Amino acid sequence: MKYLIYTTFALLFIACSAPSLSFKEVQYPQVVDGKFFNLSQDAKTYVNLEQKQAVFQDLRDKYLKIYYSVWTEKPTATKAETFWILPSLQNAIKADSAYKNLLNEDTSTLSLKDKIKRKEELEKLDKKRLALLGMGENLMPNTASDFQKIVDNMNIDAFYKNPQNAIIVNNTNVRAVPTLKPRYKNAHNFPFDRWQNSSMFEGTPVVITQFSTDGKFAHIHSAYVDGWVVSKDVALVDSKLEKFLLNLKDYKVTNEDNTPLNDPKRLFFVDAKVGQLFPYDKSTDKLIFFSKDISGYAKRFEVAYPKDKFLTFPLPFSDEMMANLINTMMGEKYGWGGIFGNRDCSAFTRDSFANFGIFLPRNSASQAKYLNNLQDLSKMNDAQKEAYIIAHGIPFRTIIWLRGHIMIYIGTTMIDGKERALVAHDAWSVTGGTDTDKRLVMLGGVHITTMTVGASFDGENNKKTLLSRSIGMSNIME
């Protein structure tokens, strides 16, 4: 097979299991058509061992070229594209000002009719400004003064005036604004902090486009996401280190998510994640890490690693190898934009494929369209969609996209005598029930489910299932 890669880039609890149960025996209960059934959460259950396992190699150089492109290629994003969040901040400030101006107007000469009209205008403006401001960490409305401080601190005029090549030295959050404070749409919108862009692994090459006015944050550009990181989490690279890394061809990846790496004194360094790339020194047989020295530059140091938990990058692709990686993330909690060190849906797919040398973009829509081979499912009914996915999807290689969500197709299972498509995905929740009796099915993390989890298989009474909402699918490896 030829592999194509391009440079664009109800809470359902898993029942408490006794310690004697093996991983394969842990089941995930689901409700479909009013019936309970168990679905194994071992991804290897769905591997077709009779199918020839294709091995994709020689992807290392292509991956590294994209990975380090921020150091070698000229940026193309404009200031307006980069700071897409700015208009929403400014609109909130304007709406708040308009509300306060109207509130402070003299009403002593107004007629009763005009006073009623003014009250209605005030209520409308108040609703608008509160919606734009959103909620903070105390679940109270943010203030316009908070927003103005953020705008002033962005130091946008300094954008790319003095770009500097740098590297991330701690796993970090990438923020849309220079603050760690959240913005939720409302008091019930957790965990969707709209200012959380993404997360970023230690060792990621970036360009610092500017620092915030107070110096606490650095705005960075990387091969897959832009945003603000805490300044202590990024260090400059000198020409010697840059040359070393651009020429380095040896890297390791972990085959078990959250593998702890420590020095002999048991000082903690990092939890190695699936999808994270670790520079490797063959001469010492150690992994290379970076710290920030007093001058703000990156200093390399080396750490021993458990040989059974790390393999040479990129891994040869096979269904079983992908199933193993998915298993190490199974049951992990959902994290919007990588918050709390967890993954969201697109980070799960991105990291799942990264170990094999496949550099996927950050968001779900871009991932689905990445190889320009998106197969349109939007005109099909549910039965046609599922039949098409089963017929044309390649287990562990195909991703299925619906607006705001992405899933890995892993094969099928027989339920009540019918073949049903299965997906592995990282989701907060799905809509179950029917159109007249909606219920929210909480997943809260990585699970294997049908595409009609919590609802009727026929799909006729619910247009909000994963299957009904699916728009397209893309075979990442073909």
DSSP 302-339: EE---TTTEEESSPPP-HHHHHHHHHHHTTPBB-GGGG
Strands lying side by side in the sheet with 405-415: 375-376, 470-475, 398-402, 405-415, 418-433, 438-450
Amino acid at 429: S
324 and 468, same domain (yes or no) = yes
Q: Is residue 11 part of a domain?
A: no
Residues 329 and 281 in one domain: no
Q: Is residue 230 part of a domain?
A: yes
Predicted TM-score of the model (pTM): 0.88
Q: What's the domain range around 276?
A: 67-76+154-312
* Amino acid residing at 25: E
Which residue, chain included where needed, has tokens 């927003």?
147
For residue 37, what pLDDT is reported? 58
Residues 229 and 281 in one domain: yes
Residue that finishes a domain, picked among 267, 290, 312: 312
Lookup result for tokens 């040989």: 307
Q: What is the domain-level CATH number for residue 39?
A: 3.90.1720.10
- At residue 254's C-alpha, the angle toward residues 355 and 291, to 5°, is 105
Using alpha carbons, select from 172, 194, 184, 189 the residue that is nearest to residue 84: 194
Q: Do residue 200 and residue 260 come from a single domain?
A: yes
- Do residue 351 and residue 336 come from a single domain? yes
For residues 134 and 221, state if they share a domain: no
The C-alpha atoms of residue 32 and residue 456 are separated, in whole angstroms, by 6
User: Same domain for 384 and 331?
Assistant: yes
Residue ranges with strand state E in 310-456: 310-312, 375-376, 398-402, 405-415, 418-433, 438-450
Last residue of a domain, one of 296, 312, 328: 312
Burial of 407-445, coded b for 16+ CB within 10 Å and e otherwise, reads bbbbbbbebeeeebbbbbbbbbebbbbeeeeeeebbbbb
In terms of domains, do 365 and 440 share one? yes
Q: Is residue 19 part of a domain?
A: no
Residue at 10 is within a domain: no
Q: What is the pLDDT of residue 438?
A: 60
Q: How many whole angstroms separate alpha carbon 184 and alpha carbon 134? A: 6
Q: Long-range contacts: 214-219, Cβ < 8 Å, 24+?
A: 214/153, 214/178, 216/178, 217/153, 217/175, 217/178, 217/179, 218/166, 219/154, 219/159, 219/178
Could you tell me if 139 and 175 lie in one domain?
Answer: no
Spans in the chain with pLDDT lower than 70: 1-38, 49-57, 266-268, 432-439, 454-462, 478
pLDDT at 107: 87
Cα gap 472→136, rounded to integer Å: 36
Report the pLDDT value the prediction gives residue 5, as an integer from 0 to 100: 33
Task: Determine, yes or no, domain membership for 1.
Answer: no
Say how far apart CA 67 and CA 205 lie, in whole Å: 7
Does the residue 5 lie in any domain? Answer: no
Q: What is the pLDDT of residue 333?
A: 95
Number of structural domains the chain divides into: 3
Instruction: Say whether the peptide bond before residue 314 is cis (omega within 30 degrees of 0).
Output: yes
Which of 106, 136, 152 is the last residue in one of the domains?
152
Opening angle at CA 28, ends 27 and 30, nearest 5: 135
Contact 399, 339 (CB under 8 A): no
Contact 278, 272 (CB under 8 A): yes
Q: Is residue 43 part of a domain?
A: yes
Q: Are residues 274 and 173 in the same domain?
A: yes
For position 213, which CATH number holds?
2.30.30.40
423 shares its domain with 355: yes
Examine the domain organization and report whether 145 and 280 are in the same domain.
no
d(CA 93, CA 454): 42
- Residue 275 near residue 264 (C-beta atoms within 8 A): no
* Domain-embedded: residue 17: no
Q: Which two tokens stand for residue 71?
A: 């150091």
